[in-house]
Copies of this chain bind each other. A is one copy, B any other.
Amino acid sequence: MEKVNKELNLSVIKAFKILEVYLNGKEVWGVRELAKKTGYNKTTTYRLLSTLESLDIVQKNDDDKYILGLKLFELGNLVSVYKSLRTFSRVPLEVIAKDIKETVHFGVLKNNQVLYLNKAESELGLKVSTQIGSYQQAYCTALGKVLLAFSSANVISDYLRNVSLEAFTSKTITTSKDLLIELEQVKTKGYALDMEELELGLICIAIPVFNKNKEVVAGVSVSGPSSRFKSENITSYLSIIKKGALEIEAHIRDYN
Judge if A153 is at the interface, Cβ distance under 8 Å: no
Judge if A213 is at the interface, Cβ distance under 8 Å: no
Do A74 and B1 form a contact, CB below 8 Å, given A9-B51, A11-B9? no
Judge if A255 is at the interface, Cβ distance under 8 Å: no
Judge if A176 is at the interface, Cβ distance under 8 Å: no
Interface size on A, residues (CB 8 A): 50
B residues near A68, Cβ cutoff 8 Å: 75, 78-81
B residues near A81, Cβ cutoff 8 Å: 59, 67-70, 73
Question: Which of B3, B12, B70, B82 sits near A133, CB closer than 8 Å?
Answer: B70
Judge if A32 is at the interface, Cβ distance under 8 Å: no
Binary per-residue interface labels of chain A (60-75) against chain B in the complex, 1 for a CB within 8 Å, 0 otherwise: 0000000111111111
Is A1 within 8 A of B76, CB to CB?
Answer: no
Total copies of this chain within the assembly: 2
Judge if A109 is at the interface, Cβ distance under 8 Å: no
How far is it, in angstroms, between the C-alpha of A26 and the C-alpha of B59 when the chains are bound?
27
Q: Identify the A interface with B (CB < 8 A).
A: 1, 3, 7-9, 11-13, 15-16, 19-20, 22-23, 27, 47-48, 50-52, 54-57, 59, 67-82, 90-91, 94-95, 115, 131-134
Question: Which of B20, B22, B57 sits near A16, CB closer than 8 Å?
Answer: B57
Question: Which of B48, B50, B52, B70 sits near A79, CB closer than 8 Å?
Answer: B70
Q: Could you list 19 examples of A-B contacts with CB < 8 Å?
A: A8-B54, A9-B51, A12-B55, A13-B54, A16-B55, A20-B75, A67-B80, A71-B133, A72-B78, A72-B79, A73-B79, A73-B133, A74-B76, A74-B132, A75-B76, A76-B133, A77-B131, A90-B94, A91-B91
How far is it, in angstroms, between the C-alpha of A3 and the C-alpha of B55 when the chains are bound?
9
A136 to chain B minimum Cβ distance, whole angstroms, is 12
A186 to chain B minimum Cβ distance, whole angstroms, is 26
Question: Which of B56, B76, B82 sits near A76, CB closer than 8 Å?
Answer: B76
Question: Which of B8, B79, B132 sits near A51, CB closer than 8 Å?
Answer: B8
Question: Which of B20, B23, B54 sits near A3, CB closer than 8 Å?
Answer: B54
A22-B78, A77-B131 known, 13 other contacts, Cβ within 8 Å: A7-B50, A9-B48, A11-B12, A12-B52, A12-B55, A13-B51, A13-B55, A16-B57, A68-B75, A69-B79, A70-B79, A70-B82, A73-B79
B residues near A20, Cβ cutoff 8 Å: 75
